[in-house]
Amino acid sequence: MRPRIHALIDFLLAGLLLFGIRGDARGEPGSSEPGMGTIRGTVSYQADAARPWRLSRYYVRKPGTGELAEAVVALSRRGLKGADADREAQTVTVDQKDFQFTPESVAIRVGDRVRFLNSDHQVHNVRMTSARHSFDVNMPPEGEHIETFRRATSVRQPHFVGCSFHTAMRTWIYVFDHPWFQLTGHDGAFELRDVPPGEYRIEVNHAAGELRASQTIVARADETVDVDLRLSPDDRRRPGK
């Protein structure tokens, strides 16, 4: 009987250790490195019946609470550039399917690559024009193009990529020179970990909806700061801004 008891104890201890590791992997509060902080919250859209937003049906699944998808949240201040610069470059995929770019927004790091695919039975095109980085590539069905992004954008001005043949197709590419950014899903949630203590601007941009806002926030060592970013028609970007 005694060997069975010891075996049971070993099994229970192993289970506790396993669950502890999984808790960290899910990003439970306090999962940042010692001495660093966590900033988390939700991006939402507060509708105004007098100023309806025609795109809300695509990005807001629950009008009552307004959680906003496809918004990019990022920190900004001097001294962030180059953090975690020795990381290995990543490749993300943007497909052209059913005459849409999927996903519609991408947030990556400097040096990362975007792999464009064409899953439609039509010729498409990927075209981006800016002063520092441009490309214009026709893509046959099942075609592929890989582009490397070596310069950062700001959260306010991501790269716009379109299709010359189908002008309704569009995607935005945000490029950051630090790791503290996130693209929201339909729950509107974000969590930025391992943030050095100090004061920041936390910025949010919804490129498709032309919505933009920012506020000051303070990250504290070994603490989680909760912040809700609420956008409304008042945050619509003015033409040319």
Q: What is the pLDDT of residue 9?
A: 40
Are 180 and 195 spatial neighbours (Cβ–Cβ below 8 Å)?
A: yes
Q: What is the pLDDT of residue 238?
A: 63
In Å, how far are 79, 127, 184, 211, 216 from 201, measured between CA atoms? 13, 32, 18, 16, 5
The CA distance from 33 to 15, in Å, is 24
Q: What is the pLDDT of residue 131?
A: 82
Helix (H, G, I), strand (E, B), or coil: what is residue 202? strand
- Which residues pair with residue 107 across a beta bridge? 174
Residues of the chain scoring pLDDT < 70: 1-31, 238-241
Which residues, other chains included, contact 150 with Cβ-Cβ below 8 Å and sequence gap of 6+?
Answer: 110, 111, 133
Question: What 8-state DSSP symbol labels residue 61?
Answer: S
Backbone angles phi, psi at 88, to 5 degrees: -80, 135
Which CATH number fits the domain 33-235, given the four candidates 1.10.760.10, 2.60.120.260, 2.60.40.420, 2.40.340.10? 2.60.40.420
Q: What is the pLDDT of residue 29?
A: 42
Burial degree of 16 (CB within 10 A; 0-12, 13-18, 19+): exposed
Distance between alpha carbon 61 and the CA centroid of its chain, in Å?
Answer: 18
The CA distance from 211 to 45, in Å, is 9
- Which residues pair with residue 212 across a beta bridge? 205
What is the tens place of the pLDDT at every residue in 186-212?
999 999 999 999 999 999 999 999 999
DSSP H helices in the chain: 2-25, 56-59
The CA distance from 16 to 82, in Å, is 38
Helix (H, G, I), strand (E, B), or coil: what is residue 16? helix
- Provide the residue ranges of all domains of the chain, joining segments of one domain with +: 1-31, 33-235
The CA distance from 136 to 157, in Å, is 20
